Each structure stands twice: as structure tokens, then as C-alpha cells.
Chains A and B, each alone.
Chain A
Amino acid sequence: MNPSPAFTGPAVEVRHLNVSLGGRKILRDISLAIPPGELVALIGPNGAGKTTLLRSLLGLIPIESGEVRLLGQPQLRQVISRIGYVPQRLALDTGLPLSVREFLALRQPGTRNWFWRRRGDLDAALPPIVQELGVTPLLDKTVSTLSGGQLQRTLIAFSLLNDPAILFLDEPTEGVDAPGERTFYEVISDIHRRHRLTVILVSHDLSMVHRHASWVVALNGRICCAGAPDDIIREDALKEAYGLHVTSYHHHHGHTH
């Protein structure tokens, strides 16, 4: 899980990006460059376009104008094998009784023929990250029966199976309780540190962002400000992004109110 050795430019580069949905302008003239190896948090109020920005970077929604480059490539399909993605509030279809083992096999390189293989063979092919994330005891469970925290760990393991250089996470702690949220940020921070991959996540939790992110982008239809957490998570900067008075996000005891 290392950035491409051949490429030393920005992991993500966006130039003058404009996106409209249903005739409404969501993103205006977004330009940013994210160096490889950063843990970047996209913050902003509801409707600020955080998820829209993430989805347009991944080619999940069409862009109106502008340019997006991931690992220097303008075409997503050229780098798609180096991208990991954890979607927002994933609605894994409960009509399909996928076990966690089967779900992971859908992405795991070399297990395309999972239907015909024995469970032991599939388990042996899983990388250590599955064990490290505590997903191994869940392998026999049906994905639709997992708790919020279990599903989140499974999705993170799924997103790391292809050894990505960039990991995108869209509001990954939604539906997860406060202790689970803390654990999540510690896990992501640890993965980011050990594997030196670029992480881009959408978050509402300014306290956790302040503690774990190395770079913060404050968004409100356009980029209000971007920089180190200490510079961005300040009252005046947030006021511009959120449009209201925001205080009390620096906590000494590890939780938000």
C-alpha cells in the first residue's frame, strides 16, 4: 500500500471543477492539490457539497466543467485498481444474502471463482488486514445482519483488498456510536500511518478531524479554506465555511458535545 513509485505529483488534483445536480449548482470553481500520504478531511455544513465532491472525484457523478486527476491520470479507469472507496451509509442490498466471506471475495484479487472454491481456500487468500480489522470472526455472517461498526470494519477491509494508493471514505462514521467512531478514527489513522496511503474522508466530527487529519478542506459550495487542522479549525475560518458561530470543538477528554 504505497503511492506509485513512478509518480511523485499530487495524489489528487482538481482544477476549476463545477458540478450541478438537478439543475442546481453544487460545486463552484473547486481547485485543490492533495500531496500523497496526507490524511485529508473534507468538512462543511449539510449541503456544502462534500459528498458531491468525493463522488465527482470518483466519477460517480458527471462533472459540468473542470478537470480531475487521480495519481496524475485524467481518466479514472487508468488508476481504478489503485483506488479504495467506503461509501456513505451503504445500502448493501438485503435481498442478496452475501456472507462477509463472499463479499470480500468479490473484490479480493484471485478469488473471482469464489463460487466454486472451498471456504478454507478463500480464507487463506485474505490479506492480514482482514484479521487486523477484526473481520475474521464475521466471515460466516450475512452482510445485511452486521451492526454499524461491524459493517464499517468490513467495508474498510473490502476497500483495502486491492492495495490502494488512495482511500476515499464518505461520512464513514454515520450510524456508528461514539466509542465506535473513536475506534474508527484510530483505525484509519493507524492504517494511514503504517501503509502511507492517501486518505480523503468526509466528516462532521471536528474534534476527531482536528486530532487525526493532517490536512483539512472546508467546503461550502466552494473551497472556503484549506490547510493544517490548527489553521482551519478556528472560529473565524469555520464561520466562513459554516456561516454561523461555532465554538467548543477543542476537547481535552476525547469526545464532542
Chain B
Amino acid sequence: MGILTEPFMQRALIGALILAPLCALLGVFVTARRMAFFSDTVAHASLAGTAVSFLVGLSEPTPGMLVVSLLVAASIVWLREKSGLYHDTIMALLLTGSVALGTVILSRLRGFRGEIHRVLFGDILAVGMTELVLAALLLGLVILGAAWLLSPLSLIAANEDLAHVAGIPVRWFNYGFVVVLTVTVTITIRLVGILLVGALLVIPPAAARLLSRNLRQEIWTAIALGAFSGTAGVGLSYVGDLPCGPSIVLLSITLFFVALVTSRFTGPNSARARASQP
């Protein structure tokens, strides 16, 4: 059972077991608030973050990735409030700008060209103790936050005006959510890569949505699907000698289609469910 005895596999499995359900939980609100493109943009900013880390001589890219991704997230919010431009215009600008900057810097640095591939597609060996500690801290923060703040977060996702009149500081909640989402995305990139991190945020909640009659069901189902596809994907990549990120994502997509077919028969929108409605 090399999969459980190899230290790098242990780290990858623990990382997947923490990060995939975390992404799924946040993804419930990311999909409800149509923020998938936002998470994609801060993910791509990590390429510039990686390049900057190596440019300034850091041996680990994670700190630079976090700083640049948070700067890009703040820039999206600031430009949206100040420029009057649409969200997707701003995000396309920052996404392409980050990728271009990161690629140019990495192409000029000797010995780091291979990093582009690692950052884009993830690397099972890239999950180190730094990432695990950060992921564990983040998990603790999100569990505590969800326990206290699930109601306001859900009301904001349902309707911001109602949340405002209920006395919820909507703007501060939005800022907090953006920070937690950005940090989660950045750490998860080490496992699955920039191009595929969005899948962990979107696919488990989308599959869960098909099978759920209420928000509680959707959250639990998304977490379970995320945990399964994350850990089983890491296992699949070890057994089949496949790239880790794509294995996790392909497994998630398979689960999504299983959910799609299942929902036709037993989901909240199935003929049986409609027939039983009063």
C-alpha cells in the first residue's frame, strides 16, 4: 500500500481531503453568486505570483501567489466600485494581464520554465507542509465562519437588499468572502493547477444542486462529492500513473453526469417529485 506509506502521497491525500470539500462548500456560494469567473481570475493571478516569488529569490512560490492573488482580488473589487466598468471586463483584463506578466517573467528566469506547467496543471509533489498547515488553518476558519455566518451569507446570496435591511453589513461580508475564496483557490492550485481549480469550485456544487431539495442537502452533498472526488482522484493518479489534477477533475465530472442521470429519476425536478407536489 505505497499510496498510504509514501510521505508525498500522504500529504497529497490529506491535502485533497481538506481542500476539495472546502472548495465544494465555498463553491455552493460561488455558483449561487455567479463568481466562477472571479475565482478563475484570481487563480490565473497565481502564475504572476509564482513568477514574482522566484524573481525575488523565494524558494517556495506560495507566499508570492497569495500576495499577488489577493492584490488582483482587491483590484477587481476596487475597479468595479470606482471605474463603472462591468465585472467581466475588469476580470478579463486582470486575468490576461497576470498570465502575460507571469509567463514573461518565468521565461526570463533560468531553470524555471518547467514551473509554468506545474502551476497550470498542478503537481502532486507540490503539496508540502506549508500548504497543509495553511489548508488546515483555512478549514478551521471556514468551519467556524460557516457555523456563525451561514445565515447572513445565505441571505446575501439570496438577495443583497433583503440582507441589508436585515442589518447585515453586506459589503464587509463580501470582502471577507473574497479573501477566504482567494486564499483557498491559491492553495488548491498547488494540487490541481490554475486551469483546473475552478472545476473543484463548480462541479461538486452543480452535481449537488441537481440532487438537493434544500440548501442543507446541497451543502452536505457538495462536501461529500468534493471529498470523494478529491481523495479518489489522488488515488487514481497514483495507481494509474496519471496527472493528479486532471484525475480529480475527470472523476468530479463523472460524478456530475451520474448525478444528472440520477436526478432525472429521483431529483427535485424529476417527474416523480413533480407528481408528488401538492
Contacts and interface: CB of A to CB of B under 8 A. Distances in A.
Interface string A103-114: 101110001111
A81 B167 contact: yes
Contacts of A93: 32-33, 157-159
A85 B213 contact: no
Interface string B107-124: 000000000000000000
A228 interface: no
Interface stretch (A94-102, A176-184, A196-204): A94-102
Given A80-B167, A115-B216, A98 B154 contact: yes
Given A112-B151, A137-B278, A142-B214, A96 B167 contact: no
A158 B163 CA distance: 12
- Interface residue tally of chain B, by bracket? 35 or more
Contacts of A71: none
A6 interface: no
A92 interface: yes
Contacts of A113: 147
Contacts of A111: 151
A96 B162 contact: no
Nearest to A96: B32
Contact of B214 (A92, A102, A107): A102
B214 A98 contact: yes
B150 interface: yes
Interface in B138-193: 146-148, 150-152, 154-155, 157-159, 161-162, 164-167
Given A96-B32, A96-B215, A102-B215, A91 B167 contact: no
Contacts of B214: 97-99, 101-102, 140, 142
A209 interface: no
17 contacts: A80-B166, A83-B165, A87-B159, A87-B162, A91-B159, A95-B33, A96-B29, A97-B214, A98-B215, A99-B213, A99-B215, A105-B151, A106-B151, A111-B151, A142-B214, A158-B162, A168-B165
Given A58-B161, A58-B165, A93-B32, 6 more contacts: A90-B162, A95-B34, A97-B212, A102-B215, A114-B151, A137-B278
